[in-house]
Amino acid sequence: MIQGIGARFAPVVTVNVGGTLFTTALSTLRRFPDSLLGSMFSGRHQILRDKEEHPFIDVDPTLFRYVLEYLRTEAIPPEDLALDMYKMASYFSIEPLQERLLLVPTVAKMMVKELNCNRFRHYSETKHRVIKLAIESAALDPSYSGIVNVLVRLSICERNFVDTRSTEHKCVRESADIQKVEDEEFSDGSIYDEQFVHCLERDLTEIGFTIKLSFSVCIAGCPYAVAKITIQF
């Protein structure tokens, strides 16, 4: 059931959060007017209600408990919940809680990784495609190793450390499973394209994959290289 715009709330409100009832002061929910909760309980918007007419919020009640405690007392949730609570604070647009949680090392590390990788366009899509291609490759390999070749452009510094003795006299573009549409599309000033692959390597390693990364270049002076990403399943 959806309550219409302009509805009034009692000074004390019982809220159904993912099937668990919480009772709190209306002023607590409205503490930050620009937050999602502040907006929901402002009376300006329609809200969802359960069959008992309680306002309904479809989130994890275990985490919401800490959101409510912060609104009441500014208490910071346990450090082992910091990552999940940062996402919850972001969902509810509670900026003061987000700022406090950024001081927790695990949250700060996550933000650094996301900001680093998200500089590259289509990063998430490419990561998912690499995993899917690696699964398909590993399914055909007795050792369950999935190999995906990603076309990149190496920096001069990086090319100095690539062994070209075993490479053939042909453009490595031909062996790439994933190619960039245009060089400029994945370039970012002084950020070289191999950093895109290093982001993939770190990201996949952190979520539990066993990764081996190597580069192949052609010896004809071509600016391209293939990053061979091997995932062991």
Position 37 scores a pLDDT of: 96
Indicate whether 2 pLDDT > 80.
no
Alpha-carbon distance of 104 to 84, in angstroms, equals 12
Mean local confidence (pLDDT), 40-53: 90
Work out the percent of the chain whose per-residue pLDDT is above 70: 80
The verdict on 70 and 154 lying in the same domain is no
Give the three-class secondary structure for 117. helix
Position 190 scores a pLDDT of: 35
The verdict on 113 and 128 lying in the same domain is no
Q: Which residues pair with 227 in a beta bridge?
A: 150, 215
Between 183 and 132, the more confident residue is: 132
The verdict on 72 and 135 lying in the same domain is no
Between 84 and 170, the more confident residue is: 84
Indicate whether 172 pLDDT > 90.
no
pLDDT, tens digit (0-9, with 9 covering 90-100), for 77-106:
999 999 999 999 999 999 999 999 999 999
Indicate whether 10 pLDDT > 50.
yes
The verdict on 95 and 153 lying in the same domain is no
Indicate whether 151 pLDDT > 70.
yes
Give how many domains the chain has, as a whole number: 2
Of the residues 100, 117, 134, which one is the last residue of a structural domain? Answer: 117
The verdict on 36 and 64 lying in the same domain is yes
Between 180 and 103, the more confident residue is: 103
Position 152 scores a pLDDT of: 82
The verdict on 104 and 132 lying in the same domain is no
Highest mean pLDDT among 57-61, 152-156, 186-190, 226-230: 57-61
Return the minimum-mean-pLDDT range out of 68-82, 93-107, 156-170: 156-170
The verdict on 217 and 132 lying in the same domain is yes
The verdict on 111 and 8 lying in the same domain is yes
For the chain, give me the number of helices (H) and strands (E)?
A: 9, 8
The verdict on 128 and 94 lying in the same domain is no
Position 120 scores a pLDDT of: 82
The verdict on 23 and 45 lying in the same domain is yes
The verdict on 225 and 132 lying in the same domain is yes
Give CA separation, 72 vs 32, 100, 107, 118, in Å: 11, 15, 23, 35
Position 191 scores a pLDDT of: 37
Residue 76 tokens read as 């910071």
Cβ atoms of 18 and 64 closer than 8 Å: yes
Indicate the average pLDDT of the chain. Answer: 84
- Burial of residue 96 (CB within 10 Å: 0-12, 13-18, 19+) is middle
Of the residues 83, 117, 151, which one is the last residue of a structural domain? Answer: 117
pLDDT, tens digit (0-9, with 9 covering 90-100), for 181-230:
444 444 443 334 678 888 899 999 988 999 999 888 766 566 777 889 99
Give the three-class secondary structure for 186. helix
Give CA separation, 159 vs 19, 79, 165, 191, 231, in Å: 57, 42, 13, 15, 23
Domain span at 57: 2-117
The verdict on 55 and 99 lying in the same domain is yes
Of the residues 117, 138, 169, which one is the last residue of a structural domain? Answer: 117
Indicate whether 148 pLDDT > 70.
yes
Position 183 scores a pLDDT of: 45
Q: Provide the CATH number for the domain around residue 70.
A: 3.30.710.10
